[in-house]
Structure 1
Amino acid sequence: MVMQSEPIIRRKLSDEVFARLKALIETGELQPGDEMPSERMLMERFQVGRPAIREAMQALANMGLIEISHGERAKVLQPTARSLLRQVDAAAKIMLAASSDSLEHLKSARIFFERGMVREAASRADAGDIAALEETLKRQQAALEDSDAFIAADMAFHTRIAQISGNPIYTAVSEAMLSWLKEYHTEMLIWTGRENVTLTEHEEIIDCIRRGNPDEAEQAMIRHLERSRTLYAPKGR
């Protein structure tokens, strides 16, 4: 019988510290809102130096498990869909920058996602939801001379539709996709009269949601996103 080689890999001290601290959070010994032990306490507990502790703590922060504030003890965070998706922000933007196909795939995925979200909104929206959408539209109408504010209100409008579902994962996905697309928003294409088309389309979507018609809401959203997908283009184009 031939034995395959199975080398034992020695881990860095910071990796070992990270694993132990992560286990404390996973087992509930450290709860969301709890302060992490001080660096000195951790150095004494694990018998390692300060660099290993700091590297491990930064790794935990990068995972969204703790929050590090200057001059204060780090605190354990409650993981959320939003914090989890934020961890892939940098990688997602690199992927999009590396391939125009990835941007097109993201735009198609957004249309598929928002078709479902607006159907859900048309089925579930109450008077408060409609009022919130109308208020967001008013903000956008007031921002015709400010492209940054106009785009921010546009993003808020679409995320508000996702919020009507009551599912925080849908809301987080909406926020993530819109933030990734924002990097490719071509302002030159907006400020040529098309901003008024966007406002009209948003009004139509709200009307369909108000009337509780999922089919018409879906078709209105598809028309809106298919028309506006040209507003997102690779940089330099």
Structure 2
Amino acid sequence: MTTKPAGIKRRKLSDEVQDQLLAIIQGGDLEPGDYLPSERELMTDFEVGRPAIREAMQNLQRMGLVEIRHGERPRVAKPSIDQMVGQMSQTMRHVLSHSETSMTHLKEARLTFEVEMARIAARKRTLSDIAFLRQTVSLQTAARDEAEDFMNCDGNFHRAVATISGNPIFAVLAQALFDWLAHFHIDLVRQEGMESLTIQEHDAIVDAIEAGDERASAEAMANHLNRANKLYHQKYSA
């Protein structure tokens, strides 16, 4: 019995153009912020029409590799971890909204990550770091009656703890993990009494970090996040 070979799928013309543009961007001759050739120049060089050029450029823009502004030639985008994570957000929210297992895995990943961030913060903290953490908690306390502001301050606190590590990727990840989860259980911190408890737990984390106690810092962060996880399960498993 012979097997009929699968048909070979033709690539879209814009995909071919995209590969050529990627080669230009990654070739090393252009720096972030440099202009790419004009649309007309690319049409001539690649011998393709305007639609293929524009579709390829839009794909590269979605990938965060190209900046497109009205009336200007496209530029090579400046590397940005924040931008990269932002582009992932809608996809992540789609995944989380359709998979309880993914939500559980994300909470577990955040717990492991944040506990280690607290441990590192206790080891590396400076006086200015502690002052900034105290200020962040103070701002959150002042925003306790404003749901959106309270949540923003909450996220800022966790990012501030991660920032002490000195690794900017950790700071961006802390914010992303918080934002992805907050999108689904913002109501948990708005239950009566939860705002005060959140602030108390943040204060305890800062106290431990200020004391330079890595174990106590990790435990304070774990207690804080495990409390939130427990409330989540109580609310959605009932």
The alignment status of 1:152 with 2:152, answered yes or no, reads yes
Deviations 1:58-111 (A, max 9, x none): 110111111222333322113233333333222211111111121121111111
Aligned to 1:87: 87
Give the letter for the 1:70 counterpart.
H
Which letter does structure 2 place at the counterpart of 1:111? L
1:48 matched residue in structure 2 = 48
TM-score normalised per structure 1? 0.90
Change (3 A) 1:105 1:188: closer
Which position in structure 2 is the counterpart of 1:11?
11
The answer to whether the Cα contact below 8 Å between 2:188 and 2:232 also exists between their aligned partners in 1 is: no
Matches of 1:211 and 1:98 in 2, distance apart?
Answer: 42
Counterpart of 2:204? 204
Asked if 1:170 corresponds to 2:195, the answer is no
Counterpart Cα distance in 1 of 2:188 and 2:224: 18
Question: In 2, Cα distance between the equivalents of 1:13 and 1:43?
Answer: 12
More helix by share: 2
Paired residues of 1:116 and 1:218 also in contact (CA < 8 A): yes
Contact in 1 for aligned 2:42/2:53 (Cα 8 Å): yes
Structure 1 residues 188 and 125: CA distance shift in structure 2, 3 A = closer
- Listed one character per residue, the Cα deviations across residues 4-37 of structure 1 (whole Å, up to 9, x for unaligned) are 9586543211001100111111112221011222
Match of 1:112 in 2: 112
**8 Å Cα contact 1:185-1:231 kept in structure 2:** no
User: One-letter code of the match for 2:123?
Assistant: S
Provide the aligned length of Structure 1 versus Structure 2.
235
Q: Structure 2: state its 5+ residue gaps.
A: none
Structure-2 residue corresponding to 1:222: 222
Aligned-partner Cα distance in 2 for 1:166–1:211: 19
Change (3 A) 1:8 1:34: same
Q: Deviations over 1:158-194 (max 9, x none)?
A: 0111111111221222122112112112426524011
Runs of 4 or more consecutive aligned structure 1 residues displaced over 3 Å after TM superposition: 4-9, 230-235
Percent identity of the aligned residues? 43
Pair 186,179 (structure 1): closer, same or farther in 2 beyond 3 Å: closer
Q: 1:57-76 counterparts in 2 under 5 A?
A: 57-76=57-76
SS at match of 2:185: coil
Q: 2:206 is aligned with what amino acid?
A: I
Q: Which amino acid aligns with 1:44?
A: T
Equivalent position of 1:123 in the other structure: 123
Is the CA contact 1:66–1:76 (under 8 Å) kept in the aligned structure 2?
A: yes
CA distance 1:138–1:187, change in 2 (3 Å) = same
Give the RMSD, CA atoms, in angstroms.
Answer: 2.3
Shift of the 189–157 alpha-carbon distance from structure 1 to 2, 3 Å rule, reads closer
Is the 1:204–1:220 contact (alpha carbons within 8 Å) kept by the matching residues of 2? yes
Contact residue 140 and residue 153 of structure 2 kept, 8 A? yes
CA shift in 2, pair 1:76/1:35, >3 Å = same
Per-residue Cα deviation, 1:114-137 (whole angstroms, up to 9, x for no partner): 010000000001111111111111
Question: Which amino acid counterpart does residue 155 of structure 2 have in structure 1?
Answer: M
